[in-house]
Structure 1
Amino acid sequence: FVATAPNVTYRWLLEMLANQGYAVIATPFVNTLDHLAMAKNVLSSFDSCLNLIYAQRILRKKSLPIYGIGHSMGCKLHLLIGSLFSVERAGNILISFNNSAARDAIPLVEQISPVMKVEFTPSPKITNRLIQKRYQIRRNLLIKFNDDDIDQTLRLSDLLRLLFPDMVTVKRLNGNHLTPLGQDINWPVGKVYTPIDAIGQWLKQEVYRDLNQLKREILLWLNPLAQIS
């Protein structure tokens, strides 16, 4: 469900980027075992949407830089796109990269199919090999959350730094694998600012400090001179 409606599940993150003046194209996908087909479909959907935006003159400058941003499985799709297709990207933002085998990613997969081996296409090993030999996006921001047991960002950073030693930034932040899915809470304040309002605002800041840290790191990487509110 997360990937089928990114405009909803990643709403806070996407609206944060839009509020800073970035045009956002949220590209949904359905999880299957064929990750290569998923990457092709995502790229096709993105290109179709971008062409429509240009045709309707919503965006007029075709020279604008394009950044990919993915979370978990979305990272793998951006890495496959950047390895197997001719695309122009100013950079990729890869959050909580995960390249697990099917037996680790899909509950009960071995019980469902005990005879026939079930695996993703491409497999984790082949995916790493493709990245190492063919990945072409030079500038990358990798984000790893401290409380994330399924994250494989550090393995990915080793691969990318062999390709582009000075172009890979790794940030370790507070949070967990689900932090990018967090949503902001609109705490209404009355005409008179009360102690309850103060407590509510404080709780909001505490709960969303991980999200705000994520926001800050993304925006600073995109534009080191940005004024971040």
Structure 2
Amino acid sequence: MDWKEISGNWVLLPQKPIGIIHFLGGAFVATAPHITYRLLLENTAEKGFVVIATPFVNTLDHTAIAQQVLLNFERVLVRLEDRGLLGKGYLPIYGIGHSMGCKLHLLIGSLFPVERAGNILISFNNYAARDAIPLVEQLNTNFQFNSNFAVEFTPSPLETTKLVQEQYNVRRNLLIKFTNDTIDQSAALTELLQKRFPGMVTAQTLPGNHLTPLGQDVKWQPGKEFNPLDAIGQWFKQEMYRDLHQLKRTILFWLNPLSPL
């Protein structure tokens, strides 16, 4: 199964799809999701899900980014349907977001009339611009000096929370946080969504850190004779992938509890 670039998206197409994933990555690794999240996404496609990973460049206008990535996603859906690559039956659509990608899925589900079978939100955070991007604070000082203009994301963290609280329409959600993720803000979002959709929201804490979804394949080639260095290399690889494998299993079980992992 090879990645295909279609209408500004990176796409994986299994032969007999059982569902569709719209994936949005973190702020500074989202420009090439087919590379930065390759292992996670390819594993999901191997289980029968069409993966549509939409790249984006981070700006302060998160509403505009959400609108554009949704437009790109819908364009590729039309092309795949026109080519008959999605089959004839109904395929549920799920959103998966990591870090900033979570906020974009929340905005999509709050501002636009989309139909989603559910969203998986990994390592959600909703920081103000000055906290999320240190450079912006420096820019902000200059703006205040020149025109008393404050730099902030659109919508702001408070506005985002209010939008989700009042308008978010995706009922089924899985929120995943990691034990060593110091910038995760999933707890407050979990409480908000559980009040909005009682019984429909699951929260899980997994081993790992904020970068666990970015786990990449390390090619370790043992020598002709297995030696202590090879043993260290194999151990390192196993430790590196253990958290990512747990994440994969958690996602796939939530998407399809009856499917063998």
TM bucket normalised to smaller:
over 0.9
Which whole-Å CA distance do the structure 1 matches of 2:188 and 2:221 have between them?
Answer: 44
1:97 aligns with: 124
Aligned counterpart for 2:238 among listed residues 185, 205, 212: 205
Aligned counterpart for 1:68 among listed residues 70, 77, 95: 95
The answer for unaligned runs of 5 or more in structure 2 is: 1-27
TM superposition score normalised by structure 2 = 0.82
The alpha-carbon deviation at position 161 of structure 1 amounts to 0.3
Q: Which amino acid aligns with 1:227?
A: P
Partner SS state of residue 125, structure 2: coil
The alpha-carbon deviation at position 199 of structure 1 amounts to 5.0
Q: Which amino acid aligns with 1:124?
A: P
The alpha-carbon deviation at position 210 of structure 1 amounts to 0.6
Q: Which amino acid aligns with 1:203?
A: F
2:35 aligns with: 8
The alpha-carbon deviation at position 189 of structure 1 amounts to 6.3
Aligned counterpart for 1:79 among listed residues 106, 111, 116: 106
Partner SS state of residue 175, structure 1: coil
2:51 aligns with: 24
Aligned counterpart for 2:209 among listed residues 152, 171, 176: 176
Which whole-Å CA distance do the structure 1 matches of 2:59 and 2:49 have between them?
Answer: 30
Partner SS state of residue 144, structure 1: strand
Partner SS state of residue 180, structure 1: helix
**Is the 1:148–1:177 contact (alpha carbons within 8 Å) kept by the matching residues of 2?**
yes
1:110 aligns with: 137
Which whole-Å CA distance do the structure 1 matches of 2:184 and 2:167 have between them?
Answer: 23
TM superposition score normalised by structure 1 = 0.93
The answer for unaligned runs of 5 or more in structure 1 is: none
The alpha-carbon deviation at position 184 of structure 1 amounts to 2.2
Which whole-Å CA distance do the structure 2 matches of 1:125 and 1:110 have between them?
Answer: 18
The alpha-carbon deviation at position 112 of structure 1 amounts to 1.8
More divergent stretch after superposition (214-223 vs 102-111): 102-111
Partner SS state of residue 79, structure 2: helix
Which whole-Å CA distance do the structure 2 matches of 1:110 and 1:61 have between them?
Answer: 51
Which whole-Å CA distance do the structure 1 matches of 2:90 and 2:57 have between them?
Answer: 30
Partner SS state of residue 23, structure 1: strand
The alpha-carbon deviation at position 78 of structure 1 amounts to 0.2
**Equivalent residue pairs, number:** 227
Which whole-Å CA distance do the structure 1 matches of 2:45 and 2:225 have between them?
Answer: 30
Q: Deviations over 1:172-221 (max 9, x none)?
A: 0111111111112344468x884566554333211211101101110111
